[in-house]
Structure formats: C-alpha cells, structure tokens
Amino acid sequence: MSNALLEKLEKIYERYNELEKMLSDPLVISDSNRYTVYIKEHGSYSKIVSKYTQLLDVRAKKQEVESLLVQEGADRELVEMARDELRELEKQEKIIIGEIEDWFVTDEKISCKNVIAEIRAGTGGEEAAIFAADLFRMYARYAEGRGWKVEIFDNSETGLGGFKEITFSIEGKNVYERLRFESGTHRVQRVPLTEASGRVHTSTATVAILPEIEEVEIDINPNDIVVDTFRASGPGGQKVNKTSSAVRITHIPTGLIVKCLDEKSQHKNRTKAMRILRSRLYELLEGQKRNERDQIRRDQIGTGDRSEKIRTYNYSQNRVTDHRINFTVYNLDQVMQGYLDEIIDALMTHYKEERLKELAVSV
C-alpha cells in the first residue's frame, strides 16, 4: 500500500473520530439537519475505518512476532511457531489491503445498483440491427448465468429479427459494477446474412449502461414533464395495439424523450418510462459534472460515452478485442453465448490499477 493511500486512511480515521464526538454533542443532537448530515457521513466511513483498525492491529502483531525472530538465543520451536504466525499475519494483511483498495476505487452507492441498458443499431443498416440483437442476447445470457433478471421495456424490431433499438433492465447483485464499462460503440466484422457475395462488412451498435436511480435519489418536477399516450404499432391483433397503452414522456428542461410500450397496461408503461427517465437524467447530470472536473481518466479506461469505439468482434478470426486496454481473446463464439467474465474482469482490474495510481498522487 502506498504512503499516499495510508495518509488518506489516517485522515478518514481522524474525521471519523471527530464525527463521533460531534454526534454526542447536545448542540448537534438538537439540530436535526446537522445531525442527519453527520450521521450519514459517519456511516459512510464505518466500513473503511473498521478495515483500517484491522490493518493497524495486524501490523502491530507482525512487529511483535518480528521482534521475537531477531532475539538471540530464542527457543527453536518458538521461532518456528513465530514464523508460521508471521506468514499467517502477512496473508491477513494482504487481504485487508485488497479490501481497503477496493473501497477506494468502488463507489458502493452506484456499483450495487441495477441497470437500465439501451442498445441501438449504428452504421451498417440491417446488419447493424442484427448485431444489436446479438449483443442483447449476449448480455441476457450473461445475466442468466449470474442469476440476474432481465426485463424488456421497449424495442423496435426489424424484419430479419434485428433491433433498431432495445431498452431493458437487468436486476441482481452488483450489476452496475460488472457492466459499467460496456457503454460505448461495439463494432462487428463479419459476412452479413444479407451479403450474397461473401464480402466482410463492418457494422456498429451502441450500448449505454445506466445505473437505475430510485425515485428518492433524483427530483423530477411533475410540471417539467409532458406525458402522451398512443397506440403501439406492430404485427398481429394483440390488445396492446388496440388501446392507447403506450406512453411517451418528454422532460421539458432537458428535451429528453422516453417511451415504453411493452406492457398492455398504461400505468405499467408509465412506471417503466419514469424509471428510464430517472436513469437518463442521472447520466446527463453526472456527465455535466465530469466535464466540469479535470478529466484525469480520459486516456485510461475511457469515458463510457456511446460515441467511443470500445470493442471489435471479428468473426473470421473468432476474436474479440477491447481497444481501451488492448485486451484480446480468441473465443468470440463463447463470448456471444454470454461468457464475458474474462473481458469484464480485465477491465475492472485495469480500472482499479489506474484509480490507485491516481489516488497515490492526489493526497
């Protein structure tokens, strides 16, 4: 662990103890606003302070054992026991340091959230729409393998089974933490079903992974939205097409428009549309904050912007390459079946390493 990170820990520990004193101050207790602010801050530090005290305890025990090992004339049996204990303490220290580093690089308030995912066909016409559908199935299979739940909100299907666009949610444990780096432009190189001459085409689809934001986390003024209902278009004579159950919501201040027509119930479609709107508004506001700050990570993991080309799927070589970290695997067939962990783990490891480098120089 770097000295810079250790210094940050010490400052957090000092602040935690300061908050404990303030929370027992009658003046603070009588001021509900101040008390609420302090109790939230205190709670946010409790986990890392617990890990820090564990680290201090382990390091203190290590010093005791190490001092025993350098004593002259120490009993041989005691020395062997001390060496065994030292090895065990070093293992504990390594685990605790890893957990502390994870705390610094992970925003727990966001990483544990479900996601709203949007996939849109890019350049390439019908082949791009087919690729968008392939990506949806890839994520759906990955979600299934991890025990997550997928729910489609809205989609625009083409004649050959592709999607011009599809919006869906994925619910489960730490979904956003695993999928956050999937946002961007995905590129496919293959012979399309629509290509008679056997020539390889390059097509694209964009993916957006948005953390699902709860109603209490973002305030949307009812006067700032316009809700329209309409009949969903599509094949067949389903009830969904006979009633004005589809919902379109326009957020006037930002111009954001979301729609949902997957359900037969207008109420359910409106609820889903509001879920999408909250996530899109959050992404918009966070993007503005990122632009206001120094973009330290611009040349590292990438911004997650949909316009950024992040990955190529080359069918002739059975190859998938993530361009942000120059990482390649030759099991595209398995990746498209939802075996994404190797790529996702590499991205998360790279992000953690780069984030720790940033922290080391930003005391």
Give the domain CATH number at 213: 3.30.70.1660
The band of 304, judged by pLDDT with boundaries at 50, 70 and 90, is: very low
| Cα–Cα dist 142/137, whole Å | 8
Task: Specify whether 190 is located in the same domain as 296.
Answer: yes
Task: Specify whether 62 is located in the same domain as 205.
Answer: no
Q: What does DSSP assign to residue 185? A: E
Question: In which domain, by residue range, is 303 found?
Answer: 106-363
Q: Label the pairing between strands 225-230 and 246-251.
A: antiparallel
User: Token digits for 195?
Assistant: 């290509």
Task: Specify whether 59 is located in the same domain as 153.
Answer: no
Task: Specify whether 141 is located in the same domain as 256.
Answer: yes
Task: Specify whether 90 is located in the same domain as 149.
Answer: no
Task: Specify whether 93 is located in the same domain as 161.
Answer: no
Count of domains for the chain? 2
- pTM, to two decimals: 0.67
Q: How confident is the prediction for the chain on average, in pLDDT?
A: 85
Encoded amino acid at 212, one letter: E
**Domain end position, chosen among 105, 126, 148:** 105
What confidence tens digit (pLDDT) does each residue in 178-199 have?
A: 999 999 999 999 998 777 678 8
**pLDDT, position 305:** 46
Task: Specify whether 261 is located in the same domain as 310.
Answer: yes
Q: Which bin fits 184, alpha (ψ -120 to 50), beta or left (φ > 0)?
A: left
List the one residue out of 182, 135, 180 whose CA is nearest residue 155. 135
CB 121 within 8 A of CB 163: yes
| CA distances, 157 to each of 54, 89, 162, 230, 312 (Å) | 55, 58, 6, 18, 23
What percent of the chain shows pLDDT beyond 90? 45
Task: Specify whether 114 is located in the same domain as 60.
Answer: no
Task: Specify whether 122 is located in the same domain as 101.
Answer: no
List the one residue out of 261, 257, 46 whose CA is nearest residue 154. 261
What confidence tens digit (pLDDT) does each residue in 316-354 have?
A: 999 999 999 999 999 999 999 999 999 999 999 998 888
| CA distances, 82 to each of 54, 64, 76, 91 (Å) | 20, 10, 10, 14
- Partnered with residue 250 across adjacent β-strands are 226, 257
**Domain end position, chosen among 88, 105, 122:** 105
**Domain end position, chosen among 105, 131, 160:** 105
Task: Specify whether 70 is located in the same domain as 131.
Answer: no
